[in-house]
Structures are given as C-alpha cells and as structure tokens.
Amino acid sequence: MSGPGPAAPEAGDGRRGRPRSAAADTAIVEAVLRLIEEGASIGDLSMEGIARAAGVGKATVYRRWSGKNALLLDVIRSLDDDLPPARGVSVRDDLVAMLEHLRHRGLVKRHSAVFRTVLTHVQAQPDVWREYHDTVIRARREAMHAVLRRGIDRGEIRDDREIDVLADLFVGPMLARALLDERKALPEGLAEQIVDTVLEGVRPRP
C-alpha cells in the first residue's frame, strides 16, 4: 500500500521549512479510513473531526491539505498499490503482470467499502479526479505504452496502429469486468487469457 502523496506546501503559518512528520501524515490518512470503516459518509467528515480522530491539531491537518478533497485524494492514493516495474525480459510477461495488477485491484475494489466510498467521491469531483488521473492513471498508461513500444521494436506487435488503441485492447477487457459488471468473475489466469488473445490479433502480418 502506498503512503500518502505529496500535499500542498506550507504557506503563511510562520514555520516554513519545518520538517513534516511522516507519522502525522499517516495518522491523519488512517483516521479517515477508520472513520469511513466505522460508517461515516464523506459528507459526515470534517477536517476538525478528522484531526480529533487522528489525535492532532486542526492546524496540523490544514498545513498538509488545503481541504477535504485534497486529503481524500491522498487517501485514495494510499489505497492504490504501486504498479509492478516491467522486467523487460518478455513483452508478454510484462503485459500479464500489468493486467494481473488490475485484476487484483478489481477484487479489492469489489470487497472494500472504503475504496468504493472514497473513489466514488473523487470521481464526482472533476478537479480532484483530473489530478488523480494526471498523477496516477497517466503514469500507468505511460508504463503500458513503454512495454507496447518495446514489443513493436522487437517485431512482436504490429506498428500500424495507434499506441492508445493497442493499450485499450489489452486493458479494456479487464477494466470492463472489474469496474462495469461486478457479476463477471475475475479468476486466476484471466490476465494470461486476455494477453494471449490480444497478442494473437496484433502480431505483425506476414
């Protein structure tokens, strides 16, 4: 599980340059998670209540986050596992590893009320969702593009299609099952099945 992401820099509190406490960051994020697990809705949460639950002063929270949305963005980041680094040995294996990561995240999303609650709120806030997309989703997409370009350079993937389209062909089926239809199973071996099926279709033509 990743730790809280970077918060806004301190300004105007007379203590610029004062080292931030990683323990306080963690305590605040964990307090939000605990409150939601105990049944609090996003609307119920306040910066003051979060500070009390974390055992810190309200000013400590506001020095790190400008408001509740900024804090929730770091909460959702804390629930987001890091994408495994591409090994670079086999394009197929790297693609399988990436889709397997998505499969596990889909299982977590289905079974974690906290994840669903926070993610739903973040998606409903355009500015917050845009920042999440620019900092988390974009990095994952660029990692996928790097693997696909390596496959193209090696002659394993055709080079006459847009890289975005190729990425969607691999990622789309897993996302559709994980996010759009919770009745669909996410069994072990699904990542391999998707990658092998798509690779068959995107190999260079003889």
pLDDT bucket at 37, cuts 50 / 70 / 90: confident
Instruction: Please count the other Cβ atoms lying within 10 Å of the Cβ belonging to residue 197.
Output: 12
Give the pLDDT band of residue 155 (cuts 50, 70, 90): very high
Q: Give the homologous superfamily in CATH for domain 91-202.
A: Tetracycline Repressor, domain 2 (1.10.357.10)
Domains of the chain, by residue range, sit at 22-78, 91-202
For the segment 44-60, the average pLDDT, to the nearest whole number, is 95
Cα–Cα dist 203/206, whole Å:
9
Domain 22-78, CATH among 3.10.560.10, 1.10.357.10, 1.10.530.10, 3.40.50.720: 1.10.357.10
Integer Cα distance of 145 and 1 in angstroms = 24
Average pLDDT over residues 97-116: 80
Percent of the chain with pLDDT over 90: 49
Separation of alpha carbons 7 and 102, rounded Å: 26
**Domains 22-78 and 91-202 are alike in CATH topology:** yes
Residue 78 pLDDT class (50, 70, 90 cuts): confident
> CA 134, 139, 143 angle in degrees (round to 5)?
155
- The chain-wide mean pLDDT, for the chain, equals 84
Per-residue pLDDT tens digits for 129-139: 898 888 888 88
